[in-house]
Structure 1
Amino acid sequence: MIKKIALTAAVVSLFSVPAFANFGTTASSERVLQEGSTPSVIINSGQPHTYQLNLDEAATVRIASSHFPGMHSILPMKAELIDAQGNTLSQVRSSGGDFEIREALPAGQYSLVVSGNSAPGGESWDAHRYSLHVAFE
């Protein structure tokens, strides 16, 4: 009887632990963009990441994506820069996963929405990771 309980507990734990894994999404997926690089996150189909960008003064903003070093990505990604009124200021797509947005922006609040079309698993989830690099000129 004890062996059956132990076996049942082991089987249940095999299926329940992956449900708690972090695949780059959180309850609050909004992040604030600042100059520098963001931590790498995993992009999943149907789960876009939203970043907030707040400018106190006018600036030319450069936002570029990159993948985990050494990883060749087949991850198609899209990024959309949106102003506080909901107008799309810039939209870029990349079949290789890397994109760049360069926009001269007045002071204000902006959102960057990053989405991708990823297939689960493969050899490694690292192929689905990206970081953003932000610079103000």
Structure 2
Amino acid sequence: MKRSSLVVSLALALMFGPGGVGYALAMSTPELLHNSVSSQRLVPTSYADRFSLDIDSPSRVSISSESWGSIGVNMILKARLLDQNGKPVSTAKQRGGNFVINETLGPGDYILEVEGQELSDRVQTNNRYNVRTRIY
């Protein structure tokens, strides 16, 4: 996590009190590294996880999720890719409850937003996912 993101997250946590710590940390934007897999995260259902992605030159980009728990049965992962101005670039396709984005992107800074959508009345607290990024 970038130092500036951590400082903002901690400031929000102090502002919102003890219950705001989880919310503030969830609102930080870890960087998606090229050709790697992110750390495992809890599936967000009341907020959107955000990841930053920096592209240096025109590239073919594949972003997908891998999940554990009841993804595809009681929940699905949804995602969209935003440009540096917050405008949608791509909405992910579904594959067995996980998401997949395949795009050709120009140089720039992008944000990936990920959220979970409940498909049943069962509250799920153990669903986890990570994000796989491939740059060609």
Identity of aligned residues (%): 24
Report what 1:30 is aligned to.
29
Are the structure 2 counterparts of residues 33 and 109 from structure 1 closer, same or farther at C-alpha, using a change threshold of 3 Å?
same
Letter in 2 for 1:39: S
Letter in 2 for 1:54: D
Report what 1:120 is aligned to.
123
Are the structure 2 counterparts of residues 115 and 67 from structure 1 closer, same or farther at C-alpha, using a change threshold of 3 Å?
same
Are the structure 2 counterparts of residues 39 and 25 from structure 1 closer, same or farther at C-alpha, using a change threshold of 3 Å?
farther
**Larger radius of gyration between Structure 1 and Structure 2:** 1
Per the TM alignment, residue 120 of structure 1 is displaced from its structure 2 partner at its CA by 3.4
SS of 1:54's partner is strand
Per the TM alignment, residue 50 of structure 1 is displaced from its structure 2 partner at its CA by 0.3
Cα distance between partner residues in 1 of 2:43 and 2:77: 9
Cα distance between partner residues in 2 of 1:116 and 1:93: 14
Equivalent pairs counted in the alignment come to 112
Question: Are 1:94 and 2:94 an aligned pair?
Answer: yes
Write out per-residue CA displacement over residues 66-87 of structure 1, whole angstroms, 9 at most, x where no aligned residue.
113xx45222221010111222
Q: Structure 1: any 5+ residue segments left out of the alignment?
A: 1-18
Supply the RMSD in Å over aligned alpha carbons.
2.6
Report what 2:41 is aligned to.
41
SS of 1:26's partner is helix
Letter in 2 for 1:99: F
